[in-house]
Structure 1
């Protein structure tokens, strides 16, 4: 299991949490972005810079994700692709994308796009808050604890540390 991060729009606070989690759990965290990313030195933290272009980082994440991986993203179409590949998708505000809610989220995204294209001001997401970071931290910790229990039960070595 690895954690892949759609890093272009991921808040710095979330990246820092992920860096700490990588060191603590020895699970590989890979940031994918179309810009250079500075990461702390660690065998468990990696960064991939993709060429500039529409959805280039998303396409690379979809190429890399395998069943059981965790992807951190606020991008709904990317989350849908991750779920199709058997991965888990968590947004930086601590909300899970699931097979049960992804179609509704895609539909709502399309409706909002249509409204914006018609010139209607739809506002936007609320500013990222401390409450959001706490919600994310709680969901990440629960997911990683569940993964650790499963790994101990199955006695499988951490992936990506060879």
Structure 2
């Protein structure tokens, strides 16, 4: 995200890649009192601060393409919420999120995740009842199993 951070290595993708490499199977220990979501929360905070300073006008060089800043901001909303659910689920916790937020992010997901992303970046949609909570519908839309939400 050169346009947001000045260099790709300093962007949230690089930071999240480091978090992923240190994942649950890592021998590296978290500092005492630091939860597993700390690095993700740090990356989210840094990203939000960068967008607050930069704004959402124009486009960003993502390394593989120039994308409208509004699209990148939408993708980040989707990424952060869905991966927060992944982290909560993996650690046996329940993610509690406002339905207003999950409705909004589900709308972003429906615009962002096209058929070309299925089978590559996203699994096939897991169908859930339309009366299900918006978080369940979002998680199913991204190809994740929603049992037990």
TM-score range, shorter chain: under 0.3
If each structure's helix is expressed as a fraction of its own residues, which one has the higher value?
A: 2
If each structure's strand is expressed as a fraction of its own residues, which one has the higher value?
A: 1
TM-score (norm 2): 0.25
TM-score (norm 1): 0.24
